[in-house]
Amino acid sequence: MDSSSILVIDDELHIRQFLRAAFEFEGFAVQEASDAEEGIRSATLKPPDLIILDLGLPDRDGSSVIERLRSWSNVPIIVLTVRSREREKVRLLELGADDYVVKPFGIGELIARARAALRPRAVTPLGDPVVRVGRLEINLATRAGTFDGKRLVLGPKEYLVLQILAQHAGRVVTRQQIMKQVWGGSHLDDTHYLRIVVRNLRKKIEVDPTRPRILLTELGVGYRLGT
Amino acid sequence: MRHDPDQDGRTSLRQRLRNSLWPVLKSLVLVGVTTIGLLILDQFFALRHVTLVYLVPVVIAATKLGIVPAVIAAIAGGGASAFFFYPPIYSFLVQDPQHLIELPLFVFVAIVTGHLATNLKRQAELARRRETEVQDLYAFSRQLAAAHTANDIYTAIRQHLTSMIGRRTILFETAPRGGVGATLSNEERVPERVKRETEAVIGRRKDSRSDSVVDDGEGHLWLVRPVAGKAEDFGVLAIDLGQQAGAKADAIRQRVDTVLDDATTTLEHLDLGQAISEARVRSETEALRDALIGSVSHQLRTPLVSILGAATVISRAPGNRSDPRLASLADILRDEVDRLNSDVQDLLDAALISSKGVRLESEWVEPADIVNTAIDRRQRLLAGHRVALDIPSELPFIYVDPILLEQALGQIVDNAAKYSQPGSAIQVAVRSDSTSVILSVKDEGFGLVGEESTRLWERFFRGERHASNVSGSGLGLWIAKAFVTANGGEIEAFSEGAGRGTIVSIRLPASEAPKPDLMVGDDG
CB contact under 8 A, B316 and A86: no
Q: How far is B364 from chain A (nearest CA, A)?
A: 6
Per-residue pLDDT of chain B (524 residues; tens, 9 = 90+): 344 444 444 556 777 777 778 888 888 999 999 889 888 888 887 777 778 888 888 888 888 888 888 888 888 888 888 888 887 778 887 778 888 888 888 888 888 888 888 888 888 888 888 888 778 777 777 777 776 666 677 777 777 777 777 777 777 776 554 444 445 544 556 777 777 777 777 766 555 556 777 777 777 778 887 777 666 677 777 877 777 666 677 777 777 777 777 777 777 776 766 677 777 777 777 777 767 766 776 677 778 888 888 888 887 787 777 888 877 887 888 888 888 888 888 888 887 787 777 778 888 899 999 999 999 988 888 999 999 999 998 888 899 999 899 999 999 999 999 889 899 999 999 999 888 999 999 999 888 887 777 788 887 777 777 777 777 777 889 999 999 999 989 999 888 888 888 999 999 998 766 555 444 444 43
CATH topology classification for B363-509: Heat Shock Protein 90 (3.30.565)
d(CA A85, CA B93): 93
CB contact under 8 A, B514 and A192: yes
CATH class for the domain made up of B147-270: alpha beta
Contact A202, A212 (CB under 8 A): yes
Q: How many CB atoms lie within 10 A of CB B358?
A: 16
Closest A-chain CA to B395: A210
For residue B345, which of B403, B277, B285, B259 has the smallest C-alpha distance? Answer: B403
CB contact under 8 A, A12 and B513: no
Q: Which residues contact B320 (CB under 8 A, 6 or more apart)?
A: B314, B326
Closest B-chain CA to A217: B369
Multiple choice CATH, A130-225, 3.40.50.10490, 1.10.10.10, 3.10.310.50, 3.40.50.300: 1.10.10.10
Q: How far is B519 from chain A (nearest CA, A)?
A: 7
Q: Which residues of B460-476 are buried (b: 16+ CB within 10 A; e: fewer)?
A: ebbbebeeeeeebbbbb
CATH number of the structural domain A5-118: 3.40.50.2300
Q: Which residues of B292-305 are buried (b: 16+ CB within 10 A; e: fewer)?
A: ebbeebeeebeebb
| Chain B residues within 8 A of A86 when measuring between CB atoms | 361, 403
Roughly how many angstroms between the first and final C-alpha of chain A, as a whole number? 19
**Domain boundaries defined on chain A:** 5-118, 130-225
d(CA B292, CA B479): 18
Closest A-chain CA to B333: A106
CB contact under 8 A, B389 and A211: yes
| Collapsed DSSP state (helix, strand, coil) of residue B340 | helix
Interface test with A, best of B300, B341, B403 (most A CBs within 10 A): B403
CB contact under 8 A, B514 and A209: no
Helices A175-183 + A191-205 axis angle, to 10: 90
Alpha-carbon Rg for chain B in angstroms: 37
Of B313, B361, B407, the CB nearest to A107: B313
Of A106, A187, A219, the CB nearest to B334: A106
DSSP-assigned letter for residue A215:
E
- Beta-bridge partner residues of A173: A223
Contact B516, B397 (CB under 8 A): no
CB contact under 8 A, A25 and B389: no
Q: How far is B315 from chain A (nearest CA, A)?
A: 10
CB contact under 8 A, B361 and A183: no
Contact A225, A217 (CB under 8 A): no
CB contact under 8 A, B403 and A84: yes
CB contact under 8 A, A15 and B306: yes
Q: Which helix (H) or strand (E) is B441 found in, with range? A: strand B436-443
| Collapsed DSSP state (helix, strand, coil) of residue B427 | strand
Q: How far is A75 from chain B (nearest CA, A)?
A: 24
Q: ipTM exceeding 0.95?
A: no
| Chain A residues within 8 A of B365 when measuring between CB atoms | 195, 219
